[in-house]
Structure 1
Amino acid sequence: MKLRIGHGYDTHRLEADEGDNSGVHLGGVFIPCAYRIVAHSDGDAIIHALCDALLGALAGGDIGKLFPDHDPQFKGIDSRKLLAEVMRRVGAAGYGVVNADISLIAQVPRVSAHTAVMCERLAGDLGVARDCVNVKATTNEGMDAIGQKLGLAAHAVVLLQGR
């Protein structure tokens, strides 16, 4: 049995945003809030960490190499499209996802009401059952830049199995 483990990490700055459409994309879900993520793409740190974990398991580099933030074709892109390309590469390499475990570290927004939908969407994107994906969140208890609502971060761990 061929197994591979990958770990991914991503972080983005946050800015206050009181606009009508203010909010963030996390785990493939738009969450209305008084902040926006500063990023070249939609800034979905959960999916970015997941992509890096998948690529890491394949020894396939990282999303910065695959989708450079200076390339205009990725400006504002939905991160689920990036994940679809990463999953295409996972399949082409002869692997499938066994499970994924993701941690969001953020003071804002509060995501507990959204994690079930995140898990459902990500499970669909990864081609696995809902109970093979876990998304959880914690705060930094007001400490450092994340605790001061200046940013957020995500870690992801995935297990791949050869087909």
Structure 2
Amino acid sequence: MTHPSFPGAVRTGIGTDVHRLVPRSDDDPPMQLAGLSWPEEQQRLEGHSDADVAAHAACDALLAAAGLGDLGSNFGTADPAWAGAAGVALLGETVRRVRAAGFAVGNVSVQVVGNRPRLGARRTDAEAALSAAVGAPVSVSATTTDGLGLTGRGEGVAAIATALVVRQEPEEAP
């Protein structure tokens, strides 16, 4: 149901994602976070795909805003096609699905919650990588929990995202 003065042309969504940190062996790929590789990190995020919590939270927010479910219902662990997939690849496919549902992406904002890696020096690179995947502005911020909870104890990294999508009018045939 829509309010008469607000017909639902603009919609927002919220997404979250959390992945466990595990030791990285020499055979493991480097940690992936916010569309970037972090080869200097001695740990990696564990998951079915590359476990990029920032990209995954952005996917969830976009899917929610467009009414398309969530990451698990679109790219579940039962689907081997997405095993090891890059977060930016999931993000690109999510945007394709959002557009196919009749929405344009206005923007996405992602906040990473964790002790490591330290995003500050690479924040601009992260925004560029995620914005390129989305085709719209993506802002990235980071925080810690001052030693509290799973992120504070260094057991994992979390991300929270919001997204704005706008209903697009179908193009008329010439």
Give the TM-score taking structure 1 as reference length. Answer: 0.91
Task: Check if 1:115 corresponds to 2:120.
Answer: no
Specify the alignment match of 2:12 in structure 1: 5
The match for 1:158 is: 163
In the alignment, is the contact (CA less than 8 A) between 2:89 and 2:133 conserved in 1? no
* 3-state SS of 1:113 partner: helix
Structure 2 CA distance for aligned equivalents of residues 105 and 113 of structure 1 = 16
Confirm or deny: 8 A CA contact 1:22 1:35 kept in the other structure.
no
> Contact conserved, 1:22 with 1:34, CA < 8 A, in 2?
no
> What runs of 5+ residues in structure 2 fail to find an aligned partner?
1-6, 169-174
| Equivalent-residue separation in structure 1 for 2:121 and 2:23 (angstroms) | 21
Alignment correspondent of 2:30: 23
**1:55 partner letter:** L
2:82 corresponds to 1:68: no
Provide structure 1 residue ranges, at least 5 long, that are not aligned to the other structure. Answer: none
Instruction: Measure the CA separation in 2 of the matches of 1:11 and 1:76.
Output: 16
Is the Cα–Cα contact under 8 Å of residues 17 and 36 in structure 1 kept in the other structure? yes
The higher radius of gyration belongs to 2
Letter in 2 for 1:112: G
Offset, 1:101: 1.0
Percent same amino acid at aligned positions?
Answer: 37
2:68 is the alignment partner of 1:47:
no
Structure 2-normalised TM-score? Answer: 0.86
**Count of residues in Structure 1 that have an aligned counterpart in Structure 2:** 160
Amino acid at match of 1:126: V
- Separation in structure 2 between the aligned mates of residue 7 and residue 119 of structure 1, nearest angstrom: 18
Residue 140 of structure 1 deviates from its aligned partner by 1.3
CA-atom RMSD in angstroms: 1.6
| 1:142 aligned partner, one-letter code | G
